[in-house]
Structure 1
Amino acid sequence: MRNRTIIISFAAIGLFGLLGWRLFYLQYCRADDYLQSSHRQQHAIVTHQPQRGFILDARGRILAASNKVQTVFVEPRGVADPKEAATKLQEILNFPGHEICGIIQESKNPGFARIMTGITPAQRDSIQNARIRGVGIQSNWQRYYPMGRLTSHITGFVGTEQSGLAGVELKYDVQLRGAEGQNVILVDARRQPIGMRPPDDIVRDGSGLILTVDATIQEFARAALAKQYEAYRAESAVAIVMDPWTGAIGAMVCLPDFDPANFGAESEQMFRNRAITDPFEPGSIFKPIVAALALDAGVIDYDEIIFCENGSYRGKGFRRIGEFGNHQFGDLSVRDILVKSSNIGMAKIGQRMGRQKLYDGLKLFGFGAQTGIDLPGEGYGLLYPPAKWTDSSVTRIPFGHEIAATALQIARAYCILTNGGRVIQPYVVRAVVDSTGNVRQLHRRGSSAGHIIKPEVANWIIRQALTGVVTEGTGTKAASEKWQIFGKTGTANIAGSVQKGYDQTNYVASFVGGAPAEKPEVVILVSIRKPDKSLGKGYSGGTVAAPVFKEILEQTLNYLHRD
């Protein structure tokens, strides 16, 4: 009997010891866990998303903005009977009840399951009046792009979480998205709200962007480019309109383009902003840049005559060089070399410069480096260091081979020639404006203080040589009766992608220039890749690209001078 008493006593002591340990474990070791669990049961967090900032063109037209849309959601853990809730929602939303029930039951998030986005005000009122347990309505922001495809490569687009994925939407995402706010709501056991605490975080709407791009000029450029792009069944096409004095982009069009509001239905290839991502061998539009460098370096004179070998030039260390269209030029001045677009004349100018001078000059113009434009994905182009040049490099780079540049790099180089030799940085965002209307960032940069070539050299290239290209040379289809235009044609071979050498069937047709020559207001580049030669309509820069340039330029200048 005594042994039994002892055993029972020890058992009781052990039991109370275990109970004590359990109480200690729950009270001290798991206290934080249960406190958090209790807090979750008694509180619900409501997150308020900020309104993403607007994007406006240079004249205040909306390119991108966000509107409120209503979303019906369910908190699965708060729904007592999913079938009953689904039946009531089906009648209001005209949405199959079995699908609603499936969404609720299969949700991996016990706190949120989206049922439908974009309900009408009447549907919202009906749901609120029905007071369905566990069902709520959330206001979300939806991005829209009223200009559609027109500015798609500039504005870019946002994803489902309203974060920028391309264009200025990506580049300026931090400024555009703002900061979310949170409210903590006290709820009862049925998850119904019974009170609200002061907000922990105040929502801060995103800042807006004012661009340099003018939607009207953008439309001029797109309409003219699209017409030729389709007529010649081209692979792609680019047009850029720039202010040569400041670097502001007035228009930037890339074809094919896409609908930013429905980007999921488009091929990823459509998203490339080819004006800044795709380098190409520029061909003859490169010649004025090298000629300017040679004149500035003093290796040639303005009135110098160069023998152009009657159309065939051979020498030690380089392959035969001929002329486009099998032209046979003899003695040509530097001006005529540009006007008639002589490859051989430019090759001899390159030989005069030599590797190092030519390379150093091209680096000053920014080739082989990003321009610094405020858009994502910009390429560097390709300019090999002199150590990697062959003996033929100094003869071929001057007429736009053995070097690759983006359309924007070429356009900027022509801006430098146009403004007298000052480097400018291209940009598309003029100002960042916060949600209260205060300007937080303002683009004030124009051209740099110094000249990379002498102003008199740049002015001679523009006003003497390149005006001649349009009046009497390869660019006559760009001529205007109203303005004196300067510019240069280019018909560039495309390097083979599989084997060495060049594609003998396809070309890049380009024209770059501006007006008025006496005081230029715009520089415009047009480049059309792989116009279909089989159509029999031509494929050269003077035939394919120059008319597009003329249309864009005349419409743009008429628009700018309309007052």
Structure 2
Amino acid sequence: MLLVMGVLGVASLGLVARAFDLQVVQKQFYQTQGDARFLRVVPIPVSRGTIFDRNGEPLAVSTPMVSITCVPSEVLDNPDRIPALAQALGTSADDVKSFLEQRADREFTYLRRQMNPEAAQAALALGIPGVNGQREYKRYYPSGEVTAHVLGFTNIDDHGQEGLELAFDNWLAGKPGAKRVIRDRMGHIVEDVEQVHAPQPGQNLTLSIDRRIQFLAYSELKQQLQTLNADSGEMVIMDVHTGEILAMVSLPTYNPNAVTGSQPAQRRNRAVTDVVEPGSTMKPFTMAAGLSSGKYTPTAPLIDTGNGHWYFMGKDIRDVESGGNGMLTPTGVLTKSSNIGAAKIALSLDTKFLYDTYRAFGFGESTGSGFPGESSGLLRPGHTWRPIEKATIGYGYGLNVTPLQLAVAYATLADDGMMHTPTFIKGGGDEGKQVISSTIAHELVDMLETVTAPGGSATRAQIANYIVAGKTGTAHLASAGGYAKNNYNSLFAGIVPATHPRLVGVVVINNPKSSIYYGGLVSAPVFSSVMTGALRLLDVPPDNIGRWYAGGPLQAGGGLAGTAPPQNPQDDQSAVEAVEP
């Protein structure tokens, strides 16, 4: 008995010693080992900042979602539960099982990303070992395809991929937090231990875009593209005094709430990434150089455009007007959109001076808008121009511009020669820089008023009770070996109200497949319709109440009251312009 009691006593002392060793001496080691199995650091998701239009209307919001995660091996250990899980996920049991078997060696995988919280809760309520939920956020765009190209979209991890979502990703995204939690053997969180670092929600962003004007531009442009079966189209509307972009539309478009089904060509914001030869919309800047040189005034000298054909260096530079325009004032060159007149003015000027004037208006360089993927266009250095190239650049061939560049250039004319960097942020405009004298800018706007008056090439751009200044452009599409004979880009750039400019609008319609292709017939009516609504929405006072043009009063949407749009260019000679490349 003594021996037995001694053995038991020694054993008891050994157990006490071992317990002391485990609980006191090696406590930290075993605590660390236990924590490694049940203590986890998990992220604290944050909501991406909301994007608003200039009037406080939400354009992009983040909605809470739940992603279903799992430990594949634990789910596979309960094969009888897989069918119920698959049903809750909206898929087949075979697919779930195959998916898990391929990832059986992983400690973590997503079963379904960004589920509706109610549906996710139904899956979690099944209590399947190894299956857990993780809170996330998904981006939603209330305006859908109307603002798609401006806003862009985010990926599954809520990071910006295109447009302003990409440009301002750091501002909008915020910084996720982290917390230390204890999970049970099922993987469920049973206790929050501590916060490692606090989450920083994304900051909101208020854009210069006006959703109402954006919708007007989208709907009118879309209707015109469908009517003419055109390939694509763009429209940009700017505030001339601040450089704020009020609307920017590019078609074809896509639904940012369902990006997967779209094509890359649909997601491209053509207003900033694609370039066109500006055609006759370039002539006011050739004229700006002419006026700045002191060689020309709005009324003198007269320029001989002859019978509409001028042979220069083996090329026939033509005007469309039947029989030619004869002698034209510099203003008349713009009114009649004379290629010959513009070419002769360009050739009469010093090449470096002409090139520097074009560069001053921003051609050949990025506008600085900060929009991802913006093109700088193309304007080759003046010292490389041959005389024939100098002549053709004067009326809009041999250089490339984006619709946004064109809008900035016309806004410069409208704001007394002051150029502003375009901005998508409300209140983000700069003070601008003077690129031409205010006197010359005023003269050019006055000259451009004649383009929309009777006898000009853009009568369809007229707006009831407002004076419109602008310029049409119709340019052959470049093709392999030269220019396509029957494919065109149709443009119109306008300023309104011309006496106290507030808005500039640029419309580009690419390759209309119709007998109607002149900018004055294709793009100018879109400008008129959109700007009529924009001026009303912004409460811009009329500057032309009761004015009558020859032939009758102006009607809303452009043109003279009681007249129907022409069915082909020959029906409205005032809208016909020179397009020869």
- TM class, shorter-chain normalised? 0.7 to 0.9
How big is each residue's C-alpha offset from its partner over 1:39-67, in whole Å with a ceiling of 9 and x where there is no partner? 54232232122111111111111111110
1:184-195 equivalences in 2 (<5 Å): 184-187=180-183, 191=187, 193-195=189-191
Q: Which residue of 1 aligns with 2:17?
A: none
Contact 2:181 / 2:194 at 8 angstroms: preserved in 1? no
Match of residue 147, structure 2, among 122, 145, 151: 151
In the alignment, does 2:467 pair up with 1:467?
no
Query: 1 CA distance for matches of 2:517 and 2:343?
Result: 24
1:114-125 equivalences in 2 (<5 Å): 114-117=110-113, 119=115, 123-125=119-121
Cα offset for 1:375?
A: 1.2
Query: 2 CA distance for matches of 1:123 and 1:397?
Result: 62
Q: Which residue of 2 aligns with 1:309?
A: 306
Q: Which residue of 2 aligns with 1:342?
A: 338
Query: 1 CA distance for matches of 2:238 and 2:347?
Result: 32
Greater mean alpha carbon deviation, residues 323-332 or residues 71-80: 71-80
Greater mean alpha carbon deviation, residues 147-156 or residues 550-559: 550-559
Q: Which residue of 2 aligns with 1:492?
A: 475
In the alignment, does 2:440 pair up with 1:457?
yes
Match of residue 162, structure 1, among 155, 158, 175: 158
In the alignment, does 2:41 pair up with 1:60?
no
Q: Which residue of 1 aligns with 2:517?
A: 539
Identity %: 31
C-alpha RMSD of the superposition: 2.4
Q: Secondary structure at the match of 1:507?
A: strand
In the alignment, does 2:425 pair up with 1:447?
no
Change in CA separation of 1:191 and 1:229 when aligned onto 2, cut-off 3 Å: closer
Cα offset for 1:107?
A: 2.0
Cα offset for 1:348?
A: 0.9
Unaligned runs of 5+ in 1: 1-31, 431-441
Change in CA separation of 1:263 and 1:95 when aligned onto 2, cut-off 3 Å: closer
Cα offset for 1:112?
A: 2.0
How big is each residue's C-alpha offset from its partner over 1:106-125, in whole Å with a ceiling of 9 and x where there is no partner? 22662322223455655555
1:39-54 equivalences in 2 (<5 Å): 40-54=36-50
Q: What letter corresponds to residue 489 of structure 2 in structure 1?
A: V
In the alignment, does 2:195 pair up with 1:217?
no
In the alignment, does 2:273 pair up with 1:277?
yes
Query: 1 CA distance for matches of 2:105 and 2:350?
Result: 68
Q: Which residue of 2 aligns with 1:330?
A: 326
Q: Which residue of 1 aligns with 2:506?
A: 525
Cα offset for 1:70?
A: 1.9
Match of residue 428, structure 1, among 415, 424, 439: 424
Q: Aligned pair count?
A: 512
Contact 1:74 / 1:104 at 8 angstroms: preserved in 2? no
Query: 1 CA distance for matches of 2:105 and 2:373?
Result: 36
How big is each residue's C-alpha offset from its partner over 1:389-440, in whole Å with a ceiling of 9 and x where there is no partner? 112122111100111111111111100001110111111122xxxxxxxxxx
Q: Secondary structure at the match of 2:344?
A: helix
Contact 2:85 / 2:126 at 8 angstroms: preserved in 1? no
Query: 1 CA distance for matches of 2:203 and 2:379?
Result: 39
1:9-408 equivalences in 2 (<5 Å): 40-79=36-75, 81-90=77-86, 92=88, 95-107=91-103, 110-117=106-113, 119=115, 123-126=119-122, 129-187=125-183, 191=187, 193-304=189-300, 305-315=302-312, 317=313, 319-325=315-321, 327-408=323-404
Change in CA separation of 1:368 and 1:35 when aligned onto 2, cut-off 3 Å: farther
Q: Secondary structure at the match of 1:114?
A: strand
How big is each residue's C-alpha offset from its partner over 1:184-210, in whole Å with a ceiling of 9 and x where there is no partner? 223455655454321112111111111
Q: Which residue of 1 aligns with 2:532?
A: 554
Change in CA separation of 1:62 and 1:191 when aligned onto 2, cut-off 3 Å: closer
Query: 2 CA distance for matches of 1:211 and 1:202?
Result: 28
Cα offset for 1:314?
A: 2.2
Contact 1:150 / 1:219 at 8 angstroms: preserved in 2? yes
TM-score, normalized by length of structure 2? 0.83
Query: 2 CA distance for matches of 1:506 and 1:116?
Result: 48
Contact 1:382 / 1:404 at 8 angstroms: preserved in 2? yes
Query: 2 CA distance for matches of 1:104 and 1:402?
Result: 59
Query: 2 CA distance for matches of 1:187 and 1:223?
Result: 53
Query: 1 CA distance for matches of 2:499 and 2:371?
Result: 32
Query: 2 CA distance for matches of 1:190 and 1:475?
Result: 73
Greater mean alpha carbon deviation, residues 387-396 or residues 183-192: 183-192
Contact 1:290 / 1:358 at 8 angstroms: preserved in 2? yes
Q: What letter corresponds to residue 452 of structure 2 in structure 1?
A: V
Change in CA separation of 1:415 and 1:41 when aligned onto 2, cut-off 3 Å: same
Q: What letter corresponds to residue 456 of structure 1 in structure 2?
A: T
Contact 2:132 / 2:188 at 8 angstroms: preserved in 1? no
Change in CA separation of 1:66 and 1:369 when aligned onto 2, cut-off 3 Å: same
